[in-house]
Chain A
Amino acid sequence: MAQSIADTNLAASWAASSAKVAVRVRVDWNRDGDYGDVHEDITSRVQGLSIQHSIYDQLAGLPVLGATAPSRASVVVSNEDCWFSPTNASGLVASYPLIAYGIYRFPIQIELGYYNGSTPERLVQFTGEIEAADESESASDVTVTFACTDNSISLLQYKASTSVYQNLRPDQMIQTILVAAGAATGSSLDQAASTIPYCWMDDENGWEECRDLAQADGGIFFFEKDGGARFRRITAPIERADSLTPVATLNQGNASALRGALTWRDCYSRVTAMYAGRYVGTLDELYKAPSAIIVPPGQTVTEECRLRYPAIDVVSPVYDIDYTAVSSSYDVVAYGTAGVEIATTKYGQRVDLAITNHLLYDTLYICNLVLRGFPLIGDEAQEVRYDQDGALGHVYGTKVYNISGNPYMQTREQAERVAQYMRDRLQQPRLVYVWSGPACPWLQMLDRVTLSHNTMTPNPGIDVDCYVMGNTLRYNAGSMLMQDLTLLPATEVYARANYFLVGTTRYGSYGRAGY
């Protein structure tokens, strides 16, 4: 959804023949959640920067929108006085001692725009963290280049285990992961169309899980310019206001280059989607300790038990049934505050047992420990298959795109919905444009723009509405703020133009059901 430019002159400044670029780059050196402290505004030292946002991966192509790398930014700052160098005791480190350990994972925000007279009008273009700071020195220049990753960095570094959740929508599970990873601030998640019977994490990477969850609904997961996570369901481009109505017209007047490539590579005559259901098995032994667990007197030992299968529930170990307890003097140790106590924490495929030995002098041995539970057993993957539509499909021969390997694709309904929308997207070649010109700073992913080049090129020219799939911004001090936009023409990405929109369409012969 495009950023608001209400009460600004940005639209006119962008369209004007000249405009002064307004830049602001700030780093939260003390990680207090704001950028207002001393030396946190580093704009005056910025020599150049670039930002890449994209939901379109050149290699992966149209089938896997959203499966791209996180947004990145590169900021080159002057360091002639070694201001940013951790070894310079009189530099930035004097105010922020943490920098002595190196510049790593400090929050950064980049704002770009244009001056309206003497008033800078800026919009946030990137929010993330500095992942690396490379110092370089040459005969003419001393700089530091900050390599930045958007707020997905919290997820990229987050591995977690959860219990098994039942009947959650993908957006609900994504929200759970975001909250657990501390990355939920500013998130905007569409309500997913599908329900996943069972979801859990088992020491898995939060970023990968969120992307898998999104794709199990045919949707897209990414972080927007403001640093908030976004989940856009598969029909978002035909639902959202800024995807339905153009928010900018890219015409030849301010373009510096335009390229168009027909993506036959992304074209398929058939889409298959695999789904694997899960069912609850009978009560079974899911873990057996390989050896006795030793607990010194007066201590608590946490035993991490990895289960053979994820389990919908695990029976808390029962004394004399699931284990026995003896002391180092071979005495039977009773359960309770005078002997042994076990606290159980259950995750999907792991159980943590906090075993407390209340004995004062004797070591405790937990013997023959087993854990029983109701396992979730995976079925063989099943397949749904959709061939190109006779009227809309234009692929010669048979070329199959296979959606597989997503653990969250568990029901036939999910597979059918995703496969059919995907079939519509992939059954004809798409022209993907890259437009270059002065930066239109309010554009965001999936915004609709009108690409109008009908006089500059020999007729018939181009006059088509497109979705923004990629946005690269480049700026060097004293130069223009430039932008490369990757654009997908909106025509026939969906099979129909009159799907029924809840809350907008009238009942009757006005709107049609989606997949």
Chain B
Amino acid sequence: MQMLPSFPAIPEVVTGQVLSATTLNTYHEGLRYLLGVSKERRGVQKGTTLWTTLGTGTTLYSGYAPLIGWTVTYDLWFKGGSWSWSIQVYDNSGTWRTVVSGSGVEHVSASSSLTPYSAYLTEGKVYSWRVLASGTSAAASVWHLSIVPSSAPGWTAVPTFTDDTVSSATEINKLRTDLNALNGWQGGYGIPTESANAIVWADKNWRTFYRGSFEWVPGMSMYCSLETKGYISRSDQVIDWQVNLNRPVRDGDYWQSENLYTRQFTKTDLAGDYKRYETVIPSSAFGTMTPGTIYSIVFILFIEIAGGHDQDGDSIWARRPIMHRIMPATPRSGWPSLGQWNEGHWISASRLNAIGTGLTNLYVGGANAIRPRVPIIATGTSVPVMHIHQRPWLVVRANPGSELKVWYAGKVGSYTESFTVKAQEEGVYTSIYLDQFRPLTYGSRYLLEGGTWSSEADEAYTG
């Protein structure tokens, strides 16, 4: 039975108590756990692939997300004649309630407080969200929509310790308070990524197959993969898989675009059944990026008509795209050295201050800031959602009795192996304890099919 890493129970100290190495080590353990969270692999958010033409009350985007905090963030694009938009939540009273709206601005990248709607929403509960827009001769694209906690609850100023001053339980306990605050800030959910319907592309020129949006963090690289098969009539012809970066700057009908990676599939590559192709875009390939800004990566399939050849019936099938960030193992600047405490060690200010440095480093604005959020996503029951196994529970929104299929990479790495679980009979939300499934090793990717929303979670969902 495998056990997942978990945030430690950190003891509170009291005046008069012998301060123990075990207690001090829980501070380090908590910091290292949170550093891991700051570096965790996070799926990109599947946005609208290109532009959606607006009519009256067009649903641009819809999905579900747990209310882990009281802020909604969004990154929306508009173009054309005139338009207006609103973000709505289906609240406790069964009403679609508008939480933010706007009009006329081409690029809206902002956050909005949900606190004014606290009478209609319950923290921790999963809600249905949507983006509505109306327009005349206009189109729109959604890059990003997520829920973020406003601030770490209970966070207090990190104490500074000075040698030769008398110790204080109050000051030492602030380390515990802040560690718990940062942990509580997380919301307890993973960041999955919605995949896409399988497509068949048999036309010359290009097809944007998938758009994934992400917040840039310095040092990150991006894992990209998809499964393909297809037909190429001639051995000297190829079909491209291009991975392009879209910067949040309009360029003509679309956005500034840079190619990050191209794979040319040959006749041999695409023969037979689906095969997964993958690549990791290194951090250095991204060029100049702004931390905290939302960017997009698109997968493009391109049937090249090279050398004057005709298309000759060339075609490509693609499915199950996956994109997630990978952070470097080494923390960014300023991460403290956290040596193990042992019985008999002197309790010096410098060693305690190292804990404070770690806390500051993880907090808002710190070099390794955690930046918790959960994406608002939804999927058709036949479209898989990619999860990275980092939490003990998988919460799935599914019709009672539905069969949920989990595809895992298995020995061949192509997600051809699977197991099935059944959604709980009595509830829309099924909580699955993942420790029971040996194929799901910590950190591995897997695909879930059959639900309309899912997310890994620290605890079972109780609604």
Contacts and interface: CB of A to CB of B under 8 A. Distances in A.
- Output the residue of B16, B342, B460 with the most chain A CB within 10 A: B16
B347 A496 contact: no
A191 B18 CA distance: 11
B17 A191 contact: yes
A505 B166 contact: yes
B85 to A, nearest CB: 41
B12 A513 contact: no
A238 B344 CA distance: 15
B341 to A, nearest CB: 6
A120 interface: no
Contact of A313 (B162, B349, B460): B460
Nearest to B17: A502
A513 B20 contact: yes
A502 B343 contact: no
Nearest to B161: A507
A235 B17 CA distance: 8
Given A195-B9, A197-B9, A374-B460, A506 B346 contact: no
A189 to B, nearest CB: 11
A283 B425 CA distance: 12
B168 A500 contact: no
A504 B16 contact: yes
B16 A501 contact: yes
A410 to B, nearest CB: 11
Contact of A507 (B3, B165, B424, B436): B165
Contact of B348 (A283, A499, A509): A509
User: Which size bracket describes the interface of B in this complex?
Assistant: 35 or more
Contact of A281 (B20, B162, B433): B433
A417 B345 contact: no
A509 B345 CA distance: 9
Given A279-B1, A374-B433, A513-B342, A506 B167 contact: yes
Prevailing SS type, chain A contact patch: loop
Given A321-B425, A505-B347, A513 B21 contact: yes
B14 A514 contact: no
User: Which size bracket describes the interface of A in this complex?
Assistant: 35 or more
A40 to B, nearest CB: 38
Contact of B435 (A169, A279, A313, A416): A279
Contact of B16 (A495, A503, A509): A503
Contact of A193 (B22, B162, B344, B435): B22
A506 B166 contact: yes
Contacts of A282: 432-433, 435-436
A298 interface: no
B179 to A, nearest CB: 14
A392 interface: no
B460 A502 contact: no
- Output the residue of A167, A417, A499, A514 with the most chain B CB within 10 A: A514
Contacts of B167: 500-507, 511
B18 A413 contact: no
A240 interface: yes
Interface in A189-239: 191, 193-195, 197, 233, 235, 238-239
A318 interface: yes
A320 to B, nearest CB: 9
Nearest to B162: A507
Given A321-B425, A515-B21, A240 B16 contact: yes
B15 interface: yes
Interface in A256-292: 279-283
Contacts of A413: 22, 26
A381 B15 CA distance: 34
B99 to A, nearest CB: 32
B433 A239 contact: no
A484 B162 CA distance: 48
A510 B172 CA distance: 16
Contacts of B163: 506-508
B362 to A, nearest CB: 22
A420 interface: yes
Contacts of B12: 191
Nearest to B6: A197
Contacts of B426: 315, 318, 321
B23 interface: yes
A31 interface: no
A507 B347 contact: yes
A507 B349 contact: yes
B285 interface: no
B11 interface: yes
B19 interface: yes
Interface of A: 167, 169, 191, 193-195, 197, 233, 235, 238-240, 279-283, 313, 315, 318, 321, 374, 377, 379, 413, 416-417, 420, 495-496, 499-515
Closest 6 CB pairs of A and B: A503-B15, A508-B163, A195-B9, A514-B18, A513-B21, A235-B18
28 contacts: A169-B11, A191-B14, A191-B17, A193-B20, A193-B22, A194-B11, A233-B17, A238-B18, A279-B1, A282-B433, A321-B425, A416-B22, A417-B22, A420-B343, A500-B18, A500-B347, A502-B13, A502-B18, A502-B19, A503-B15, A503-B167, A503-B168, A507-B162, A507-B165, A507-B348, A507-B352, A508-B348, A513-B344
Interface of B: 1, 3, 9, 11-24, 26, 161-169, 172, 341-349, 352, 392, 424-426, 432-433, 435-436, 460
Given A239-B18, A502-B18, 4 more contacts: A235-B17, A506-B163, A506-B164, A508-B349
